[in-house]
């Protein structure tokens, strides 16, 4: 099966899917619009969050970064007056150094990520959305900010009024995933509970991507990242409010219905939002209620089982 994922929220459900499926049965297509160059290194935040989560090394409190991380390099860099607004832990740096050295040697991001997953003992297939760079820009009250400058450096404080994705028209959707979508072996396609604007849109807007997902016979199941008017992780709710979109699961449903007609077969709402089912149905999506809030591995695997129990309508 195939899952689409951004950062922490998506990685939670991806972990649940990874744990209940046979080794190697899960393919995860990951946003790379957040990638950027920093301190001479290629940083892939969403890919690394997924790799660390699936290899059981993620910081359990943050959901990102590595457990037991140390920060000696950042302390030394700060003493030199270097940029430390984007914190890179000592062990995390090894990932970025290895990735950057491989990219400099001419290996593409798809192959580099495949090798990283193998070396970290991850049996599921982790696919960057494209080998070509796509970079998310946040249009906000302070002007145009690269995503990490908005998200980390400015802590999501500026008011948002839109997004764009540099390089999108020239990028090619991951050919390995497009080959999967051209076949019929995928049983389910799950859009994990990730930010629709800056985690999932960059994936779906790649040339031909959302149409290939729509046309595959597997059911497409989308899990709402908004529960009772709040994002469980990240700035999705704040962005929706500033874009004057209703900060509800129904607001998320309308975004997908308007921008990707016919894509979503099932829209999963948390039980707490069951009263919104009619609104979801009104925009043309099929609502399904379940427990979507994930606190622990039991919650993650149960939600994964719920997704896999849904069949093509």
Reduced to 3 DSSP states, what percent helix, strand and coil does the chain have, rounded to the nearest 5? Answer: 40, 20, 40
Task: State the alpha helices, DSSP H only, in 34-125.
Answer: 45-54, 72-79, 90-104, 109-119
Position 275 scores a pLDDT of: 97
Q: What is the mean pLDDT of residues 62-83?
A: 95
Angle at 89 between CA 118 and CA 192, to 5 degrees: 55
Position 63 scores a pLDDT of: 79
3-class DSSP state for residue 226? Answer: strand
Each residue of 197-223: pLDDT tens digit? 999 999 999 999 999 999 999 999 999
Angle at 150 between CA 148 and CA 153, to 5 degrees: 75
Position 104 scores a pLDDT of: 98
pLDDT band at 179 (very low <50, low <70, confident <90, very high): very high
Which sign, positive or negative, has the C-alpha torsion 279, 2, 122, 46? negative
Each residue of 226-269: pLDDT tens digit? 999 998 788 999 999 999 999 999 999 999 999 999 999 999 99
3-class DSSP state for residue 268? Answer: strand
Position 312 scores a pLDDT of: 81
Query: Dihedrals φ, ψ of 216, to 5°?
Result: -70, 145
Q: Among 53-62, 72-81, 92-101, where is mean pLDDT lowest?
A: 53-62
All residues at 6 or more sequence positions from 187 whose CB lies less than 8 Å from its CB, including other chains: 1, 218, 308
Percent of the chain, pLDDT > 70?
100
What is the rounded average pLDDT for all residues in the chain?
Answer: 96
Tell whether the model's pLDDT for residue 91 goes beyond 90. yes
Q: Is the pTM of this model over 0.85?
A: yes
- CA 256 vs CA 68, 232, 250: distances in Å: 38, 19, 10
Say which residue the tokens 């969050």 belong to: 49
Position 61 scores a pLDDT of: 83
pLDDT band at 139 (very low <50, low <70, confident <90, very high): very high
Each residue of 95-116: pLDDT tens digit? 999 999 999 999 999 999 999 9
Position 174 scores a pLDDT of: 98
The set of long-range contacts for 93-97, using a CB threshold of 8 Å and a minimum separation of 24, is 93/41, 95/48, 95/51, 96/41, 96/42, 96/43, 97/41
Which two structure tokens, joined as six digits, stand for 268? 């999963």
């Amino acid at each position: 099966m195939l899952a689409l994922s951004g950062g922490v929220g998506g990685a939670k459900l991806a972990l649940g899917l990874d744990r209940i499926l046979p080794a190697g049965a899960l393919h995860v297509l990951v946003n790379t619009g957040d990638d950027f160059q920093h301190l001479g290194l290629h940083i892939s935040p969403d890919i690394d969050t997924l790799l660390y989560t699936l290899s059981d090394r993620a910081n359990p409190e943050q959901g990102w970064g590595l457990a037991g991380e140390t920060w000696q390099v950042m302390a030394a860099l700060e003493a030199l007056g270097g940029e430390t607004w984007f914190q890179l832990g000592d062990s995390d740096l090894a990932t970025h150094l290895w990735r950057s050295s491989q990219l400099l040697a001419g290996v593409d991001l798809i192959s580099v990520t495949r090798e990283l997953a193998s070396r970290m003992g991850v049996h599921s297939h982790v696919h960057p959305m494209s080998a070509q760079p796509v970079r998310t820009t946040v249009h906000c009250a302070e002007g145009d900010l690269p995503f990490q400058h908005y998200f980390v450096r400015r802590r999501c404080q500026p008011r948002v009024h839109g997004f764009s994705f540099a390089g999108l028209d020239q990028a090619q959707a991951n050919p390995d995933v497009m080959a999967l979508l051209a076949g019929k072996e995928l049983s389910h396609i799950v859009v994990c509970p990730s930010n629709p604007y800056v985690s999932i849109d960059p994936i779906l807007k790649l040339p031909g991507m959302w149409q290939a997902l729509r046309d595959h016979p597997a059911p497409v199941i989308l899990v709402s990242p908004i529960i009772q008017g709040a994002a469980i992780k990240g700035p999705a709710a704040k962005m929706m409010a500033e874009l004057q979109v209703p900060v509800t699961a129904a607001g998320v449903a309308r975004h997908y219905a308007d921008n990707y007609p016919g894509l979503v077969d099932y829209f999963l709402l948390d039980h707490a939002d069951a009263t919104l089912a009619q609104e979801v149905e009104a925009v043309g999506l099929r609502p399904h209620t379940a427990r979507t809030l994930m606190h622990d591995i039991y919650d993650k695997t149960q939600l994964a089982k719920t997704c896999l129990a849904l069949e093509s309508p």
